[in-house]
Amino acid sequence: MGLLIILAAAVTLAWLLWAILPTCYHKYLRRHLLRRQNGAERVLLLSFDDGPDPRYTPQLLDLLHEYGIPANFFVSGSAAAAAPQLIHRMQEEGHCIGLHGYRHANQWLLGPKAAARELTTGLVVLRGLGIEPYAYRPPYGNLTLYTLWLLRKHNLRLTLWSVMAQDWRGDTAEAILQRLRRRCRPGSIICLHDGCAGTAVADSAAATIEALRSFLPEMQAAGYRFLRLSEIKRADDPCRTEVLYGEA
């Protein structure tokens, strides 16, 4: 019995060090904000996960084009392979494209070999479409020590978020809009979804787009400017979780 307790404690400690602590540190303790050039400047980084989706991503791109707003898309390799024309459109319209894995797999549930395959297969797909991503967002925001090593090996910046509107749950557009209004402030990194993967409710992206029809012009009218991740890329430390913009 004593040996079993020791083994259970050892496994728990190993899992804590391997996955739980790295995820909690990068997801909850690091400051996922844009540092502004001065305290008065209103900047936001708008990002989308899980796409491209042939039903909703075109609508979203139309909306962004209407208001002249750049966005940052963290795409799944499998979805990109199925809709290459949308990847090309994102690129042509000036949006940044990052990687969200290949099949939206939770890094906590993958061994090292599977984790490496999940990331490198996604990279191969995007490079085959003429995209060289330098940013990565793990599905669910979950990562391990090995994930961090892979990102450094492939020179990818880990980019998480500071504002989430729970838009994957199937809530109404009004509920999503109210969360965005309440939670956004200068320097926020917003994470929304233009596709449905993992635990997302089917067609939940429709409400996201409807909420943005009000949110985007409101933010512009309030003096906010939307940034591309490429505008704030730091070559000296590509794997920083905190995205820096100008000086603190």
Catalytic residues: 49, 193
Q: Where are the beta strands (DSSP E) in 134-196?
A: 135-136, 157-158, 163-164, 189-193
Please tell me the distance from the alpha carbon of residue 48 to that of residue 207, in angstroms, as a whole number.
14
Q: How does DSSP classify residue 203? A: T
DSSP one-letter code for 35 = P
Cβ of 111: how many Cβ atoms within 10 Å? 10
Contact 191, 222 (CB under 8 A): no
Distances (CA, A) of 76 to 216, 236, 240: 25, 27, 21
